[in-house]
Structure 1
């Protein structure tokens, strides 16, 4: 039998492992990132009997996002800064530590972390664990021993660059992004060789087509997306060089189409008066060839973003029945409040409907792909635009949704926050805040600040919703047992009926949950559910930093809607594992 090249072996390994219901080897369970498990020992009938089986302290206090990985009989769990990694032995009672990897990072790096020192997870391939540190170092770690294999630097924290996104391995490449849009960083995505760390390609979010990796193979069904070097011509002067569009969200991959998908963030600065034009390619979903980085298509959701509607949320891949035919789609719940169902081969928007309180636009024109804006909700320097929904935190932040092929529904944590917004002039200085806005946030219609909803992406309809007092800031997990799990900033891990939304079970953890539940099959043959508790992130940073509702140290002046989070949750990171 011919030996396969290592990249093919690694790719085949991940393709096989993602189908193993007992393991959780990719950040979103599989390349589609549907966060759906076919495990069904835990059902809507017996979930009420879940008990805490064991816990593990992460030893840090600030916000914790992402989910552990389970590869074979080992669980790999991460922390926010300083980005420690622990390998836990699932074959032994209480899952003791097999090894720990503790990076030595500059203590000054958190000062340039915009929205807490969170980290969203690890990647695995070919016997290696891949870690992206806050200081922009990407590390390959021996999964068996914890020994560092290689380390490469992707950016400069002195320029405001950090990394908080989970990597994704495709074939022989590990894909990572960059954070720092609030510091004038020009966003990019990088592919590195998983064996050596050598950079294979880097694609920027703004600049000439040679930097954005747009060539002859690029196409779009929309006129506003066609033309050469739009990443320059849609900006004023050299604003594109500090144009934001950072890539701190999630990555997905379609092996059949051989396309990598990800989204880019808000343009810099927040003051839209300083950057007239569409500001491409911020606020954009990209489809790229993972071998070369060349873009196949792109779709900009919010041209000339005036509200900090960061576009980095996950792109879930699914095959849905629409108008009598099966469509290969990408489903994206954007912070701008629209839920998009997009043909993932071409970038054509099939459905775009509001999934929460939205008044900055009335709709999305499916012919042009452009939002139909409401002029009075636009923002500019020197004018305080009031009662804009959603707020900068968005109708949904990066906390990922889940999709159940069994019910055909998407399960989405959402926010119900509105705002007043005024642009102010700001000058760029490397490594300093480059925001330029005064923002005041407050609860939206009804007074509840969050809602967990079930969504039909074929029609753009909400099927049911569970109102939450605080912003719904924990990710979702769907299972074949007809159960959906999600966490709240008060610290509740909840299990609800996937079809009706009926609350079936809940457990109060020690801190707010802004991470994502996952499930696995342990060596004892039993199904377990795990989640990391530890309040923080954009909405929870008020609690993580002990900021009160009227505290002037709230930085961006935008935390008023969350300043009482500390009344509901205290700091502290812990892994909880539950079983029947």
Structure 2
């Protein structure tokens, strides 16, 4: 009895400790002086209450200090700030620096993983990493080789490690992690190598694997309850995924999970999207290919799916569904509802009830989108929730070895992973977009573990009537499903946005400009050209009573893969090299953090 009492007491202490750790993380998220996870908070709003820098004075911004990361290639993600310490990450080899903000950015510690460089050619679209997260006194890094490392935030010492995948079969990582409650939730990359995508939860204290949920496959691997897991309000039924694939194609079916994660602690749910089905040749995988291209709502504790919604059944264009899910509470028809808004690669912006999975809005957020006429919004229709495909732009109906031209958007989507922002002050979403179209020719491909499993040749170019502009930065009304204003950019906007209480919205450009625009009007208020193209995400923090804005610059990612990897064949980089050939006229490689502030 005494042993049992001690055991249960230990469990209670552990549970209480983890509750306090999670409370500490939430408290830090709610402190606008800090930036503790990549998305700012669990809602993924990328909004800051700081307003010392505002629409009236942002034009006076100056560079306060800079830091070289010592690494080239594409710099995605952003620094974190916890207390007086800033944490900066790099692309492969995924170095992490801890900088002392109270001592002119002095390096407190540096962690440099030892990774096999053979992982580099297995990474689809540059060697990017979208950053570290903080929780429970740890900095959590998910490396390119899929190793998850928990570092002591004060010393940089490794507290635990876990291996999440196998690069030998094409599994890699480019994403950040979601620390929530007593868990670290992580995804996997490798859709272009025929992996079976999954999300996995690890114990925040020990690194022990707690559960894994696949995107495609049998119900026990999906963590589906066929009678309780719903799609648009109806039970999915048994073998909902298996019934939508031919034979065993699902085993190499993709549905990877390399994007962003959000969470609603009240509902005990987390949200994310799954990527493209494998291969890119749709003729080789008949059926809807569920549950690739899908929004998932899963229980944080068990991983069991509450609801799902497949945006692009039988994807024919590589429109990964991994972009961020932004959580808001807004009024719809006089009722305040918990909403989820998602800007998908396929060019449609979705507004959903995040508790029930009800589809409320599905509208194009770029008028150039032409592969679909829109989504059937009639709940009584047999095609409810499905997009109507325009036959002219279908790569499946036109057959293998046939080049389908003029498809909008291109495979990199109307928006890729670069995260949008939302301001609860204005009720507007601020969205970085790609205004790019493509030609797409599927061909038959054989699967070999660890080798590319693509099966299509692509060419990309600016959308028609765009006067050469390949991007826009837009303001979006998620209830009306309409663009409020739009700013044209020479290249795709591959930077994550930041909205602030000072009525300012920040974003970066591929040429390297940090820009500030008015949250209500979109009028440009400030710009500064950093040393390299920006594909990182803008963040802000406060130190000693002064607000700062930080951005990583270092061109790369899918749009900048030609520069990052020295590629010149227009068809390389899955078609991006030719589309962004002019980028080399405006920027070169780099890896630098630039921090801005108002003059004293």
Distance 2:503 2:358 in 1: 32
Asked if the contact 1:220/1:346 (under 8 Å) is kept, the reply is no
Residue deviations 1:50-78 (CA, integer Å, cap 9, x gap): 11111110010100100111111111111
SS in structure 1 of the partner of residue 25 of structure 2: helix
Give the aligned partner of residue 350 of structure 1.
360
Deviation at 1:564, TM superposition (A): 2.1
Deviation at 1:11, TM superposition (A): 1.3
Asked if the contact 2:571/2:577 (under 8 Å) is kept, the reply is no
Select the residue among 202, 205, 220 that pairs with 1:192.
202
Asked if the contact 1:222/1:369 (under 8 Å) is kept, the reply is no
Task: After TM superposition, list the pairs within 5 Å mapping 1:298-317 onto structure 2.
Answer: 298-317=308-327
Distance 1:456 1:184 in 2: 37
Are 2:45 and 1:34 aligned? Answer: yes
Distance 2:346 2:436 in 1: 12
Give the aligned partner of residue 518 of structure 1.
539
Are 2:182 and 1:182 aligned? Answer: no
SS in structure 2 of the partner of residue 100 of structure 1: strand
What is the root-mean-square deviation in Å for CA atoms of aligned residues? 1.2
Distance 2:273 2:577 in 1: 25
Distance 1:83 1:545 in 2: 17
Give the aligned partner of residue 59 of structure 1.
70
Give the aligned partner of residue 579 of structure 2.
561
Asked if the contact 2:561/2:573 (under 8 Å) is kept, the reply is no
Asked if the contact 1:287/1:295 (under 8 Å) is kept, the reply is yes
Deviation at 1:555, TM superposition (A): 4.7
Deviation at 1:323, TM superposition (A): 1.3
Give the aligned partner of residue 392 of structure 1.
411
Asked if the contact 1:402/1:476 (under 8 Å) is kept, the reply is yes
Are 2:547 and 1:531 aligned? Answer: no
Distance 2:20 2:133 in 1: 16
Select the residue among 425, 432, 436 that pairs with 1:406.
425
SS in structure 1 of the partner of residue 67 of structure 2: strand
Residue deviations 1:486-544 (CA, integer Å, cap 9, x gap): 0000000000000000000011000000010000011x210000000000001111121
Give the aligned partner of residue 17 of structure 1.
28
Distance 1:552 1:65 in 2: 23
SS in structure 2 of the partner of residue 6 of structure 1: helix
SS in structure 1 of the partner of residue 540 of structure 2: strand
SS in structure 1 of the partner of residue 457 of structure 2: strand
TM-score for the superposition, normalised by structure 1: 0.97
Give the aligned partner of residue 102 of structure 2.
91
Select the residue among 475, 482, 487 that pairs with 1:466.
487
Residue deviations 1:401-438 (CA, integer Å, cap 9, x gap): 00000000000000010111111000000110000001
Asked if the contact 1:544/1:571 (under 8 Å) is kept, the reply is yes
Are 2:236 and 1:226 aligned? Answer: yes
Residue deviations 1:466-492 (CA, integer Å, cap 9, x gap): 100001111100000000000000000
Residue deviations 1:69-122 (CA, integer Å, cap 9, x gap): 1111111111110000000101112x1111001100001111100000000011
Distance 1:194 1:479 in 2: 31
Task: After TM superposition, list the pairs within 5 Å mapping 1:126-145 onto structure 2.
Answer: 126-145=136-155
SS in structure 2 of the partner of residue 532 of structure 1: strand
Distance 2:233 2:586 in 1: 46
Q: How many residues align?
A: 574
TM-score for the superposition, normalised by structure 2: 0.94
Distance 2:558 2:361 in 1: 28
Asked if the contact 2:326/2:342 (under 8 Å) is kept, the reply is yes
Distance 1:451 1:552 in 2: 23
Give the aligned partner of residue 253 of structure 1.
263
Asked if the contact 1:547/1:566 (under 8 Å) is kept, the reply is no
Deviation at 1:14, TM superposition (A): 1.6
Distance 1:10 1:108 in 2: 37
Task: After TM superposition, list the pairs within 5 Å mapping 1:356-395 onto structure 2.
Answer: 356=366, 357-366=368-377, 367=379, 368-380=384-396, 381-395=400-414
Distance 1:53 1:41 in 2: 15
SS in structure 2 of the partner of residue 564 of structure 1: helix
Asked if the contact 1:244/1:266 (under 8 Å) is kept, the reply is yes
Deviation at 1:553, TM superposition (A): 7.0
Distance 1:212 1:313 in 2: 20
Are 2:480 and 1:454 aligned? Answer: no
Distance 2:126 2:389 in 1: 32
Task: After TM superposition, list the pairs within 5 Å mapping 1:78-227 onto structure 2.
Answer: 78-93=89-104, 95-215=105-225, 216-221=227-232, 226-227=236-237
Residue deviations 1:261-320 (CA, integer Å, cap 9, x gap): 010000000000000000011000100001100000000000000000011000000011
Deviation at 1:213, TM superposition (A): 0.4
Give the aligned partner of residue 503 of structure 1.
524
Are 2:276 and 1:266 aligned? Answer: yes
Asked if the contact 1:6/1:172 (under 8 Å) is kept, the reply is no
| More displaced 10-residue stretch of structure 1: 395-404 or 228-237 | 228-237
